[in-house]
């Protein structure tokens, strides 16, 4: 499942001809709005980010009463993020949050972007990281009670998706605490992220935080776990190798080592 569940919304839009006039689900109110929605979703599926931006702008401009305003603004934010223009991505994510103050997707996007872009030397570091942490916690809270974008999504799949949101939120908080040099807190956040969504990148981040905090033996143990997986992505293996080397140099030992 895509992290944004846009496939679920796309399925809803694709069947919009049968939904027009119903009030239980979001639906386009005209053929022109439906066509704009379909253009936006088709562009997203094709990774045509400029096409997403163009269609999203058209949707919110021409159809002020659309039920899909939050979706369009979020998709536009995501498109700008994929184009590596996080300044505009943040603007549109904030607009999506204005359209729906409980938008967990906009909240998690803002949490991650702000946490990753904040530097230790920033004069407003704590203001930025505090904001990122709030967005992250909001994303967890908002997603807990969020309705499925498509009722046909299985409950188990929806629960896994929400765990993924929680994992990303804890990951963003972990990154913020790395910047603060609160390594124990960061390691705990990455551990919680992994427990919600067992992505090896969270293990590598946890190992890095442990090593930076002087817990070299624990860092080595995690790195060995990563390096023992023959299917591990080379980039994550590279991080684990570097972290392990730093931990060994600092005097750390593998479990059972002398």
> Would residue 180 count as lying in a domain?
no
pTM of the model: 0.88
Is the model's pLDDT at 7 over the cut of 80?
Answer: no
Q: What is the mean pLDDT of residues 158-165?
A: 93
Contact in structure between 106 and 83 (CB atoms under 8 Å) = no
Report the run of H or E that residue 107 belongs to, with start and end: helix 104-117
> Would residue 208 count as lying in a domain?
yes
> Would residue 166 count as lying in a domain?
no
- For residue range 65-98, list pLDDT tens digits in order: 999 999 999 999 999 999 999 999 999 999 999 9
Contact in structure between 177 and 185 (CB atoms under 8 Å) = yes
> Would residue 245 count as lying in a domain?
yes
Could you tell me the CA-to-CA distances from 41 to 51, 113, 159, 235 in Å, in that order? 9, 23, 24, 31
Its domain, for residue 226, covers 199-258
Long-range contacts of 178-186 (CB under 8 A, 24+ apart): 178/205, 178/208, 178/209, 178/212, 179/115, 179/118, 179/119, 179/120, 179/125, 179/129, 180/120, 180/125, 180/129, 181/120, 181/212, 183/209, 183/210, 183/212, 183/213, 183/214, 184/209, 184/213, 186/213
- For residue range 182-210, list pLDDT tens digits in order: 999 999 999 999 999 999 999 999 999 99
> Would residue 125 count as lying in a domain?
no
> Would residue 253 count as lying in a domain?
yes
SS3 call for 103: coil
> Would residue 117 count as lying in a domain?
no
- Tokens representing 249? 């140099």
Percent over 70 (pLDDT), the chain: 88
| Total domain count, the chain | 1
Whole-number mean pLDDT of the chain? 89
> Would residue 224 count as lying in a domain?
yes
């Amino acid at each position: 499942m895509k992290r944004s569940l846009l496939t679920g919304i796309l399925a809803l839009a694709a069947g919009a001809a049968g939904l027009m006039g119903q009030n239980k689900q979001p639906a386009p109110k005209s053929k022109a709005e439906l066509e704009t929605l379909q253009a936006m979703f088709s562009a997203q599926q094709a990774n045509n980010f400029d096409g997403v931006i163009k269609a999203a702008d058209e949707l919110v401009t021409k159809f002020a009463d659309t039920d899909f305003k939050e979706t369009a603004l979020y998709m536009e934010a995501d498109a700008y993020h994929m184009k590596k223009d996080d300044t505009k991505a943040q603007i549109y994510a904030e607009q999506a949050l204005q359209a729906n103050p409980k938008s967990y997707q906009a909240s998690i996007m803002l949490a991650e972007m702000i946490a990753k872009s904040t530097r230790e030397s920033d004069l407003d570091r704590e203001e930025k990281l505090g904001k990122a942490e709030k967005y992250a916690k909001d994303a967890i809270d908002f997603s807990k009670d969020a309705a499925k974008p498509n009722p046909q999504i299985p409950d188990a799949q929806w629960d896994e998706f929400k765990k993924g949101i929680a994992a990303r939120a804890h990951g963003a908080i972990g990154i913020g605490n790395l910047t603060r040099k609160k390594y124990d807190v960061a390691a705990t956040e990455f551990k919680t992220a992994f427990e919600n969504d067992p992505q090896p990148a969270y293990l590598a981040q946890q190992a890095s935080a442990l090593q930076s905090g002087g817990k070299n033996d624990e860092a080595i143990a995690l790195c060995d776990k990563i390096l023992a997986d023959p299917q591990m992505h080379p980039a994550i293996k590279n991080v684990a190798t570097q972290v392990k080397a730093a931990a060994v140099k600092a005097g750390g030992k593998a479990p059972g080592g002398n």
